[in-house]
Structure 1
Amino acid sequence: MEFRYHFTRTALLREAVTTVAAVLAYFLVRGLTEGSVSLAVENAGRVQEAEEALGIAWEWTIQEALIKHDWAVTFANWVYIFGHWPVIACGGLWLAVRHPRSYFLTRNAFLISGLIGLVIFAAFPMAPPRLAEAGLIDTVTERSNAYRFLQPPTLVNQYAAMPSLHFGWDLLLGIGLAGAVQRRVLRLLALLLPTLMVVAVIATANHYVLDVVAGGTVALIGLWIAVKIRPRSPDWLWGGAPRNVR
């Protein structure tokens, strides 16, 4: 027995409004969980020490390699700024219209991982490399004002670097898109963005390597839970009751 999910125009509009409200609520709560600056910097130091012990303190090497080339810095900034919310919005809309079942699963994974992320932000406030006196340059704000529009400072918790949902959510979208398309080249393109985002978040001094690892882990946990609860989820989690197709 097969279940097909679908959107009417009214349901699509309702979903869009609900999603925007959820995103705004996420940023509001994340902003309210901002911890003390000193603790956030101390936690960043702990992460740096852990990376050095593991031999993965690659932030300086990556930024030094890119900072020599203006085009590379600009590209990394563009990926960081425009490769997140604009792409998530467009990709999510495409999934909702063309592949609703993949959309619902991806959306729920976003919601679950976002809730997990909020708990971690509150329990473990952490400064990004650009604010942790690590000697790295904030290339995004030095080269562009676009990010201030996409994520207004009043809604941003500057000390919520761990985990990197900037990467984690791009990974979820990439997985959702890759699972929806048929051609191998399109699947590879769907997974290219989260790959580029790994480099971008580190090169722009917005995240440590371990932030990326944590972000990917939280995202995959969210996806795993979304898959597990799918058979028993109430209709509101899936945008309405599915159609039964024999």
Structure 2
Amino acid sequence: MPMGDSTVTSLDDREQTTQTAVPDSPTAANGPGLLRRLRTPRRPRLWFEIVLIAVSYWTYSLIRNAVPEQRGQALRNADWLWRMEHHLGIAVEESVNHAVNSVTWLIVGMNYYYATLHFVITLGVLVWLYRSHPGRYAATRLVLFATTGVALVGYYLYPLAPPRLMNGSTFIDTVMVHQTWGSMASGDLKHMSNQYAAMPSMHIGWSVWCGLTIFALAKVPWVRVLGLLYPLATLTVIVATANHFWLDAVGGLLCLGFGFAVARVWYGTLPYELPRDAPRVVPSQAVDRVRLRRGWSRSSPRP
């Protein structure tokens, strides 16, 4: 990776199999400080990424489900949010829920969509980034992690019941009615998940992250279009299955905006603007050979 006035230099085949950044001055050869090294995109390591993602999701699930289920407050918040949507003229979730529920094959498909694609597509995009865009992987992953982290704060500060659990409403819990494996907060799975963590919607936060990443980096036009359609389909699903309000989706978008801001501050640019490839770390012996070829010594003084 170029640093300062550095250039990319090829070592011979016996020493190195790939191109990597080599400093143009003795000062640069000493490398940046720890903070700068951490902020420099590098090729991800598979074992580290597998462990990181597994531990991170386990921690996310643990914290999310450890938030006290404040049922009374969650129901009051849901009533207030529903009234707010009526005031804004966007309270059509109940009509969508009833309309889609009347088409059995459609709502059953949406139940399974809600339960599975949230994880499958997100992991698929991460794998694609790892393989095809290693230079952008860490920054784009940071967006996802920061988005998820701030969502945990939302679950704690603003407990919210999903529409299907509201008192006095006619929302249909489509998983219960059609006996499908779907929402973790329905049926036999309801004791494994916090039922009152509807705000923000990470189905939206994660799906928009996937959609933007695919649209920004994919080369095939129809794949880019699918990237944009995926979060729209997800929005329809979370409303039709009565798992979220429209405003929960807005909360998910705000969390995603925070995630992009964190990555922008850390890397100095948007993840998609970083180079596609990141150089491997050059062994110190190889750097020494290059330094000697250019007439430097290991003890060359700093200017």
Query: Could you say which TM-score interval applies, normalised by the shorter chain?
Result: 0.7 to 0.9
Specify which of 140, 158, 174 is matched with residue 175 of structure 2.
140
Considering only aligned residues, what root-mean-square deviation do their CA atoms show, in Å? Answer: 2.4
Q: Residue 173 of structure 1: CA displacement?
A: 1.4
Q: Residue 184 of structure 1: CA displacement?
A: 2.2
TM-score by length of 2: 0.70
Identity %: 30
**Structure (1 or 2) with the greater helix fraction:** 1
CA distance in 1, matches of 2:265, 2:211: 20
Structure 2 letter corresponding to 1:243? P
CA distance in 1, matches of 2:190, 2:135: 34
Q: Which has the higher contact order (CA 8 A, sep 6+)?
A: 1
Which blocks of at least 5 consecutive residues in structure 2 are unaligned? Answer: 3-39, 270-277, 281-303
Instruction: Give the match for residue 184 of structure 1.
Output: 221
Maintained 8 Å contact 1:126/1:159: yes
Specify which of 106, 114, 135 is matched with residue 101 of structure 1.
135
Q: Secondary structure of 2:196's partner?
A: coil
Q: Residue 146 of structure 1: CA displacement?
A: 5.3
Deviations 1:67-122 (A, max 9, x none): 12112212221321222011111221121111123332221111111121111111
Deviations 1:199-241 (A, max 9, x none): 0000001000110111112112212321221149xxxxxxxxx
Instruction: Give the match for residue 62 of structure 1.
Output: 96
CA distance in 1, matches of 2:51, 2:96: 39
Structure 2 letter corresponding to 1:137? I
Q: Residue 155 of structure 1: CA displacement?
A: 4.6
Count of aligned pairs: 232
CA distance in 2, matches of 1:181, 1:164: 25
Maintained 8 Å contact 1:95/1:177: no
> Quick one: structure 1 residues 215 and 117, their matched pair in 2 at CA, closer, same or farther if it must change by over 3 Å?
same
Q: Secondary structure of 1:145's partner?
A: coil
Question: Does structure 1 residue 209 correspond to structure 2 residue 243?
Answer: no
Counterparts of residues 34-73 of structure 1 (less than 5 Å) = 34-73=68-107
Maintained 8 Å contact 2:111/2:181: no
CA distance in 1, matches of 2:253, 2:218: 22
Structure 2 letter corresponding to 1:17? V
Specify which of 260, 266, 279 is matched with residue 229 of structure 1.
266
CA distance in 1, matches of 2:127, 2:107: 29
Q: Residue 147 of structure 1: CA displacement?
A: 5.1
Maintained 8 Å contact 1:163/1:215: yes
Q: Residue 154 of structure 1: CA displacement?
A: 5.1
